[in-house]
Amino acid sequence: MKNKYSSKSLEILEGLQAVRKRPGMYIGSTDIIGLHHLIWEILDNAVDEALSGFSNSIIISMNIDGSISVEDNGRGIPVDKHKSGLSGIELVFTKLHAGGKFGSDSGYKTAGGLHGVGASVVNALSTFVDVTVWRDGYEWQMNFSEGGSKRTKLTKVKKSIKRGTLITFKPDIMIFKNNDFDFNMIINKARESSFLIKELEIKVIDKKLNKFEIFKSHNGLVDFIKFIDNKKPITNLVSLKDNYSNIKTNIVLHYNNSDTEKILSFANNVKTINGGTHENGFKSGMTKVIKNYIKNQGIKEKYPIEGQDIREGLTAIVSIYVNEDKLEFEGQNKHRLSTSEARSAVETTITKQLNFWLLENKNQAEKIIKKISLSAKARFMAKQSKLTLKEIKNNSKIKRILSGKLSPAQSKNYKLNELFLVEGDSAGGSAKLGRDRKYQAILPLRGKIINTEKANILDILRNEEINTIINAIGAGFDNNFNINKAKYGKIIIMTDADTDGAHIQSLLMAFFFHYMVDIVKEGYLYIAIPPLFKLTNKYQKKKIIYLYDEDEYQKFGNLDKYEIQRYKGLGEMNDYQLWETTMNPETRTLIQITLHDEFFSRKEITTLMGNKAELRKAWIQKNIKFTLVDNIILNNKK
């Protein structure tokens, strides 16, 4: 075959074409996460104005036409002409890597956003962007069309004493799989930003539903840690602040009685969801301080203490501010900090200040050491127990239970394999008969599994259903979980379409979130959607229609010509029906469980699945619409 690859095959993408051609390089993805990343890019610029002391108010509006508006009362994007011949607004919205945070005279010292990269990317991926700026005594406007092209020139509209910037944009439906914004995701981000900058007020408005939320914090990170941790602390709050190598470090932490570690980190107010050098410095500093304190106080270690023991039950927020010339992230999404100096700056802060706090607060230190010692003991006992993963794999009883319950997939291509966690033996039997044996494995579950939000780790490991799930997946458990060893690319929860089925789904999702969180993070976890109704044509018996919810049933016309069966559970379907409606990749409907924000999700799970009934009740009353009778029952239920 003739090789036609030459210089004629090479293509130059000018301007913003590269962003539209490869959006994932700039916003990570074109799913719901990438969609909301457009808001974060504009919001981060507004937050940077507040961080630098130039504004104290931000308004985010979800508009009726599906667009988003972000307004701040900062200095306003420059409108004068740049040496390139473009106005400041046109420059930052049409040119990549053009912004006000590279120079030394812009007023930005510790900004998180790049005032131009984000704006130009948003412009490239939107059907329109409208910019209004108030500065220099006037209101200015400029508009851009699909793909970032200029629709109108910069216009001086009228005199105004107002100051700030208003940006309105609508994502391009040709780029994004779904362009419906999520109010809860936006308010979580807004709340988080308000905690990071004291006295910054952020208002989020949903104009479609005519509702809004306002966030403003007077105590910053102190308010933040109280919000994210709804478990009762066993120690007072520790607040540590310092400045090393021109890196400002602000840390708050406390311990509670849970076995969960929560570390939330930020760099210049950008949330680093994958951690980085500052988080590594925090962990190493904690380990060093605690071990030195135990040694210097002459406390005898009955069980060897590791870093994970020191961080069990620890909730901490690590926030640092780095000068622009030293700030380095991995990728445009800024999910991980790579600034090398950040590790030593944070570790130094922890090492010096936490050690002093422990010496000054002996009773608090005693509680922390007791908590750590109990964690070390539990971990040691778990290793010695016959119920640890290593020994479970060699435990003939567990192997016998698993071999009797699990119908494995035949394929060794694990990425293509699917594990169905099925409610009940009856449905499990139908699923085993109806499945695609090559790629689909079936594991029937008896009843409801243990609530892993309330139980300790030893009780969890003693639970037979949990053990069979762990062994079936084959990738370990908790800190030893390795998703690369998972035997399935999809784990599908398949339960009855009733309240018991929903409860089982919740229990299983809580388990995966706590002890196999990468299953959720990497998009391996799904919920199957079985039909609620079977409609058989009275005159053509082979013509069958399945309806999947009550709304679909109510909207379905001409029901008189059908025999109607309402399924009470999966067990009422034979193997062919279960395959065709719920398991066949060509016809089924699956809901993928994703993790937008690990810490807010953890808070919600603790609220809904934990021991505090009053928190659960308050959440239900705020988020669920009830009739008068429902409210009477809820308020009187013991």
**H or E stretch covering 341:** helix 340-349
> In whole angstroms, how far apart are CA 364 and each of 51, 361, 534?
34, 5, 62
Name the least confident of 81-85, 191-195, 225-229. Answer: 81-85
- Do 93 and 185 fall within a single domain? yes
- Do 342 and 279 fall within a single domain? yes
- Do 152 and 177 fall within a single domain? yes
Q: Is residue 613 part of a domain?
A: no
Q: How far apart are CA 383 and CA 391, in angstroms?
A: 9
pLDDT for residue 403: 52
Q: How far apart are CA 250 and CA 114, in angstroms?
A: 23
pLDDT for residue 208: 92
| Tokens 């892993």 -> residue | 452
User: Which token pair is 111?
Assistant: 């900004």
Residue that is last in its domain, among 215, 233, 265: 215
Contact 395, 333 (CB under 8 A): no
Looking at the predicted structure, is the pLDDT value of residue 166 above 80?
yes
Q: Is residue 543 part of a domain?
A: no
Distance of CA 83 to the CA centre of its chain: 42
Name the least confident of 397-406, 410-419, 556-565, 607-616. Answer: 397-406
Looking at the predicted structure, is the pLDDT value of residue 391 above 80?
no
DSSP state of 69: E
> In whole angstroms, how far apart are CA 232 and each of 257, 453, 514, 603, 605?
7, 14, 19, 13, 15
pLDDT above 90: percentage of residues in the chain: 42
Contact 287, 261 (CB under 8 A): no
Q: How far apart are CA 108 and CA 103, in angstroms?
A: 8
Looking at the predicted structure, is the pLDDT value of residue 542 above 50?
yes
Residue 354 or 426, more confident? 354
- Do 265 and 172 fall within a single domain? no
Residue 101's closest CA among 323, 424, 433? 323
Residue 581's closest CA among 551, 544, 609? 544
Which pLDDT band, with edges at 50, 70 and 90, does 321 fall under?
very high
pLDDT for residue 111: 55
pLDDT for residue 3: 56
Which pLDDT band, with edges at 50, 70 and 90, does 492 fall under?
very high
Strands 57-62 and 201-206: what pairing? parallel
- Do 429 and 310 fall within a single domain? no
Dump pLDDT digits (tens) for 462-490. 788 888 898 899 888 887 789 999 999 99
Residue 192's closest CA among 603, 616, 509? 603
Indicate left, alpha or beta for 323 from its phi (over 0: left) and psi (-120 to 50: alpha).
beta
For the domain that residue 517 is a member of, what is the CATH number? 3.40.50.670
Beta-bridged to residue 256, according to DSSP, are 233
Dump pLDDT digits (tens) for 278-319. 999 999 999 999 999 999 998 888 888 999 999 999 999 999
DSSP state of 582: I
Looking at the predicted structure, is the pLDDT value of residue 352 above 80?
yes
- Do 255 and 396 fall within a single domain? no
User: Which token pair is 331?
Assistant: 């990728």
Q: Is residue 258 part of a domain?
A: yes
Predicted TM-score (pTM) of the model is 0.71
> In whole angstroms, how far apart are CA 449 and each of 78, 230, 275, 464, 594?
59, 24, 32, 9, 22
Q: Is residue 343 part of a domain?
A: yes
Distance of CA 570 to the CA centre of its chain: 31
pLDDT (average), residues 22-28? 82
- Do 359 and 407 fall within a single domain? no
Residue 500's closest CA among 465, 543, 539, 448? 448
Contact 41, 121 (CB under 8 A): yes
Output the CA angle 438-414-25, nearest 5 degrees.
Answer: 130
Name residue 158's amino acid.
K
Beta-bridged to residue 423, according to DSSP, are 445
Q: How far apart are CA 425 and CA 411, in angstroms?
A: 24
pLDDT (average), residues 568-594? 88
- Give the Cβ contact number of residue 405 at 10 Å: 18
- Do 88 and 114 fall within a single domain? yes
Looking at the predicted structure, is the pLDDT value of residue 6 above 50?
no
Distance from the first to the final alpha carbon of the chain = 78
Looking at the predicted structure, is the pLDDT value of residue 584 above 50?
yes
Question: Strand, helix or coil at 369?
Answer: helix
**H or E stretch covering 123:** helix 117-124
Residue that is last in its domain, among 180, 215, 250: 215
- Do 130 and 255 fall within a single domain? no
Contact 89, 79 (CB under 8 A): yes
pLDDT for residue 82: 84
Q: How far apart are CA 272 and CA 275, in angstroms?
A: 5
Q: How far apart are CA 269 and CA 36, in angstroms?
A: 17
Q: Is residue 619 part of a domain?
A: no
Contacts of 229 (CB under 8 A, 6+ apart): 254, 256, 262, 315, 603
For the domain that residue 344 is a member of, what is the CATH number? 3.30.230.10
pLDDT for residue 383: 65
Looking at the predicted structure, is the pLDDT value of residue 189 above 80?
yes
Name residue 326's amino acid.
K
pLDDT for residue 419: 96
DSSP 127-189: EEEEEEEEETTEEEEEEE-GGG-EEEEEEEEEE-S--EEEEEEEE-TTT-S-----HHHHHHH
pLDDT above 70: percentage of residues in the chain: 83
- Do 243 and 379 fall within a single domain? yes
Q: Is residue 467 part of a domain?
A: yes
- Do 362 and 440 fall within a single domain? no
pLDDT for residue 47: 92
Q: Which residues of 346-374 are buried (b: 16+ CB within 10 A; e: fewer)?
A: bbbbbbebbbebbeeeeebbeebbebbbb
Range of the domain at 114: 17-215
Residue 590's closest CA among 491, 496, 502? 491
pLDDT for residue 24: 81
Looking at the predicted structure, is the pLDDT value of residue 100 above 80?
no
Which pLDDT band, with edges at 50, 70 and 90, does 378 fall under?
confident
- Give the Cβ contact number of residue 207 at 10 Å: 13
pLDDT (average), residues 48-72? 94
pLDDT for residue 406: 87
pLDDT (average), residues 130-142? 95
Name residue 149's amino acid.
S
Q: How far apart are CA 235 and CA 258, in angstroms?
A: 13
Strands 238-244 and 247-255: what pairing? antiparallel
For the domain that residue 44 is a member of, what is the CATH number? 3.30.565.10
Looking at the predicted structure, is the pLDDT value of residue 247 above 80?
yes
Q: Is residue 308 part of a domain?
A: yes
Distance of CA 256 to the CA centre of its chain: 23
User: How high is the mean pLDDT of the chain?
Assistant: 84
Residue that is last in its domain, among 337, 355, 384: 384
**What torsion, rounded to 10 degrees, do the Cα atoms 397, 507, 415, 402 define?**
10
| Tokens 């049933």 -> residue | 553
CB-count burial class (<10 Å; 0-12, 13-18, 19+) for 583: buried
Contact 51, 111 (CB under 8 A): yes
Q: How far apart are CA 240 and CA 485, in angstroms?
A: 40
Q: What is the CA radius of gyration of the chain?
A: 28
Q: Is residue 550 part of a domain?
A: no
H-type helices in 350-498, by residue range? 355-360, 362-384, 389-393, 396-405, 425-434, 457-462, 464-473
Count of domains observed in the chain: 3
Residue 510 or 447, more confident? 510
- Do 285 and 151 fall within a single domain? no
